[in-house]
Amino acid sequence: MTPIPNQATALRLQNARSVLLAALQQWPCSKPELATRTGLTQMTIGKVVDQLLSLGCFVRAGDALVAGQGRPPLRVAPNPACDLVGIELGVRRTLVYRFGLGGAAGPQQHWQLPAHASLDALRGELRRCREPRAPAPRAVMVTVPGVLDVESGAVVYSPNLHWTEGRELLAGLAQDFAAPVHAVHEAQAQALGHLGCPEAADHFLLVDLGDGVGCAAVADRYLQAGPSPLRGEIGHTAVPGNLRRCGCGALGCIETLAGRAGLLRSFREASGQHGADWDEMQRALQGGDLPPWLTATLDALSMVVAGALNLLGYANVVFVGELTTLHAQVMPTLCDGLARHSLLGRFGRVGCSAAAPRRQFGLLAAAVDRVYLPAAAAAVPRSGSARAAARARPARTPGH
């Protein structure tokens, strides 16, 4: 068991996390640049950079000596080794790639797999992605939809991918790749990925609009945890008057309206274009006013998110996903809905913006917490701000 460090050690590890994530925004970077990005003192930055160099997370950037100007200031870059495997498990496709602190490997180590109907089918496809002579990865980082119990390494319930439920998925991947497997809920991966944006706030609610509708809360730049694995599942909040059956078994979930399949269904029903795909829907919507079905869906979605704001006390919401760019009025309508339906909107301002998906960076940020700086996870208090990093444990790996 990893010993729980004292407060001073915990602070050093948190500083290491801040500096490492800041360096991943852009590199090579100098100590003064890292101080500006993190707000830490030059003295602290100096110690942390030395620590990250000794851990192998940083390498010295290749600055040439300039005649007459002496040694240039130290600049560092993330270690370029692609020592991780990333898997983004999705309803319509699965992405697989080699990556590391320095980013992703080339396109020859990036695969897009079709949707799978079983674990055996996925494992069979993944075998074809592995190069026989390639060294085992340091870890496999995988995003999963559905309710994830990180501590036990089990997918508890997955409304849109029932075959991933249980412990077999993560245990099977660990066996196939001969490496520890760390799973991250896909909305939480998006939230961690957003932390890689220089403009990211320290506290925000991220709403992930994809095949489903998920949510993650970030406070003090850490994922918020809860008393159970079930968190952020706002997509399964019922909307009055919605009679659609959800993959979770219930009637009326907002996901059946604002998820990708739900949006397409509404468009087909309203337009009579029953064979239309997403691109055709997007083209048909461009240039005109928001159709009533989409206005109603956005209002319902903003009500559900406003409920989360009222409960949790957040003032910033970041939306990620295809819905945000479906029509020019989508984001203004969502932001207006949040202002109208939240209590904060009565007397203050609700920050509301769209951001690009950064799930791969989210997996990397999770690897910083769970693989590169593993002690940092144990260093954070388990109560108070309830940081998810403190609860993060690798999936049980056979033989480890």
- Which residues sit at the interface with Zn ion, rule CB under 5 A? 236, 246, 248, 250, 253
Tokens of 187: 């909305």
Residue 6: CB minimum distance to Zn ion, A: 44
- Which tokens is 91 given? 């309803």
Instruction: Report in angstroms how near the CB of residue 23 gets to Zn ion at its nearest.
Output: 40
3 state SS of 272: coil
The least CB distance from residue 128 to Zn ion, in Å, is 34
Angle at 99 between CA 85 and CA 395, to 5 degrees: 35
| 281 φ, ψ (degrees, to nearest 5) | -65, -45
- What gap in Å lies between CA 14 and CA 20, rounded to an integer? 10
Whose Cβ is closer to Zn ion: residue 161's or residue 246's? 246
| Contact partners, residue 193, CB within 8 Å, separation at least 6 | 357, 358, 359, 360, 361, 362, 363, 365
Nearer to Zn ion, 213 or 395 (CB): 213
Nearest distance in Å: CB 242, Zn ion: 11
State the alpha helices, DSSP H only, in the chain: 7-23, 31-38, 42-55, 119-129, 168-177, 186-194, 255-258, 260-271, 278-285, 292-312, 330-341, 344-347, 359-367, 374-379, 388-391
Q: Largest alpha-carbon pair distance within the chain?
A: 76
Q: What share of the chain is helix, strand, coil (3-state, %, to 5)?
A: 40, 20, 40
Whether the ω angle into residue 28 lies within 30 degrees of 0, i.e. cis, is yes
User: Whole-number minimum distance, CB 251 to Zn ion, in Å?
Assistant: 9
Residue (81 or 250) nearer to Zn ion, CB:
250
Cite the DSSP H helix spans in 147-259. Answer: 168-177, 186-194, 255-258
Residue 250 or 264 with smaller CB distance to Zn ion: 250
Q: Which is nearer to Zn ion, 150 or 246 (CB)?
A: 246
Burial 24-33 (b: 16+ CB within 10 A, else e): bbebbbbbeb
Helices (H) and strands (E) in the chain, counts: 15, 16
- Least distance in angstroms from the C-beta of 255 to Zn ion: 6
Contact present, 320 and 209 (Cβ < 8 Å): yes
Choose between 236 and 359: whose C-beta lies nearer to Zn ion. 236
What is the signed CA dihedral for 188, 189, 191, 196, rounded to 10 degrees?
150
Q: β-strands 29-30, 75-78: how paired? A: antiparallel
Other CB atoms within 10 Å distance of the CB of residue 269: 11
| Closer by beta carbon to Zn ion, 18 or else 256 | 256
Residue 234 beta carbon to Zn ion: minimum distance, rounded to whole angstroms = 10
Report in angstroms how near the CB of residue 245 gets to Zn ion at its nearest.
Answer: 9
Nearer to Zn ion (CB atom), residue 96 or residue 301: 301
Whichever of 253 and 317 has its CB closer to Zn ion, that residue is 253
Which of 114, 240 has the CB closer to Zn ion?
Answer: 240
Contact 277, 259 (CB under 8 A): no
In whole angstroms, how close is the CB of 246 to Zn ion at the nearest point? 3
DSSP symbol at 235: G
Nearer to Zn ion, 191 or 213 (CB): 213
Question: What is the smallest separation between the CB atom of 232 and Zn ion, expressed in angstroms?
Answer: 13
- Least separation in angstroms between CB 193 and Zn ion: 25
